Amino acid sequence: MRPSAFDYLTPTSLDEAIGCLSEHAPEARLLAGGQSLIPAMNLRLARPRVLVDLSGISGLAGIEEDGGSVTIGAMTTHSEIAVSDVLQRMVPPLPAMARRIGHHAIRNRGTIGGSLAHADPASEWPCALLALGGQIKVSGPKGERAIPAEEFFRTYYTTEIEPDEILTGVVLSVFDRSRRWSFHEVARQPGAFALVLVLACASLSAGNTVADLRLAVGGCGGRPVLPVTDWSFLTGVRPSAELIETAAQRAAGALDPPGDNSASGEDRRQMALVLLRRALGEVLIEEMGASV
Ligand SMILES: Cc1cc2nc3c(=O)[nH]c(=O)nc-3n(C[C@H](O)[C@H](O)[C@H](O)COP(=O)(O)OP(=O)(O)OC[C@H]3O[C@@H](n4cnc5c(N)ncnc54)[C@H](O)[C@@H]3O)c2cc1C
């Protein structure tokens, strides 16, 4: 099918792009990599009257470290993240997660900003930003604001971005060298969207007791979630297999995934439980090692 007719605008600065949105919102849509929007337009699930292409705006792509944080521009592609040496050193889960997104053609065009704005709850970046405690920067006619990932995702394909705002980038804290992480997902085939995905990050103290744990689950509802925010029953404790089972059960029990054409709610919870056990074991028990 073909998309319905639209005007195509090519701003060359952020201010110009915000002006285009302010003039044409809510009938205008931003175009980043086009890997979600163009298929939706071809199916006429989306019918924007105006497309505002972000690709001509310099400064929206790139990865920069600044002391204790890393900023990733909205137009940075999944492929650029997958091969970034800076991210491999500073925020190592990101390159590994990028390699799990779609296939090469999708990764070469699709952007982190487009993915976060699209807010598919089964996609990698929303889960990553939530687990890593990232901030999402947006700009609009009233200026710039940074939204914590916990507040950014509302529900399926819906975020805190206003119709006249543009997501400009994300800010993440640099990983401490000793921080451990584990990412796992279940997908029906390589390149397909995940059914369920889990990213866990933890720090162990001397003596391998738990200092800190943060874990996000995607694909189990309208947005990624932190199923447990109070892990104090684990802190200061040397984890055992029994404790990991308790933690995994507690996190899976906090999920309430709906069923759909791909999996029933109970199947999703079961998949989450398996991934939670695996991820928690890998981040909390030294000899199991961190993994992708
Ligand atoms: C076959 C296939 C398989 C895929 N598999 C996966 C997968 O496994 N995992 C995964 O995570 N994704 C997957 N995707 C989606 C892919 O990652 C897309 O790149 C991503 O969802 C959207 O990014 P984009 O840059 O292409 O955005 P676009 O498609 O251009 O835009 C998506 C939406 O975001 C808005 N938008 C874009 N940029 C901005 C911005 N800077 N500020 C505000 N709004 C903005 C647009 O207006 C639009 O509404 C897949 C896509 C396809 C077609």
The string of pLDDT tens digits covering residues 174-222 is: 998 889 999 999 999 988 999 999 999 999 998 889 999 999 999 999 9
Residue 36 backbone zone (phi > 0: left; psi -120 to 50: alpha; other: beta) = alpha
Residue minimizing CA distance to atom 21 of ligand 1: 115
Beta bridge partners of 138: 145, 167
Q: What is the mean pLDDT of residues 219-245?
A: 95
Q: Which atom of ligand 1 is nearest to the CA of 102?
A: 5
Model pTM score:
0.96
Q: pLDDT at residue 114 above 80?
A: yes
Report CA(189)–ligand 1 centroid distance (Å). 19
Is the minimum distance from the CB of 102 to ligand 1 under 6 angstroms?
yes
Q: What are phi and psi of 144, to 5 degrees?
A: -105, 145
Q: pLDDT at residue 277 above 50?
A: yes
Is the minimum distance from the CB of 36 to ligand 1 under 6 angstroms?
yes
Instruction: Look at residue 292 in the predicted model and tell me its pLDDT.
Output: 45
Mutate to test the pocket of ligand 1, among 35, 41, 195 (most ligand atoms within 8 A of CB): 35
Using the CB atoms, write b or e for 8-17: b if 16+ within 10 Å: ebebeebeeb
Is the minimum distance from the CB of 166 to ligand 1 under 6 angstroms?
yes
Is the minimum distance from the CB of 118 to ligand 1 under 6 angstroms?
yes
Would you mind telling me the total number of residues written for the chain in this entry? 292
Is the minimum distance from the CB of 111 to ligand 1 under 6 angstroms?
yes
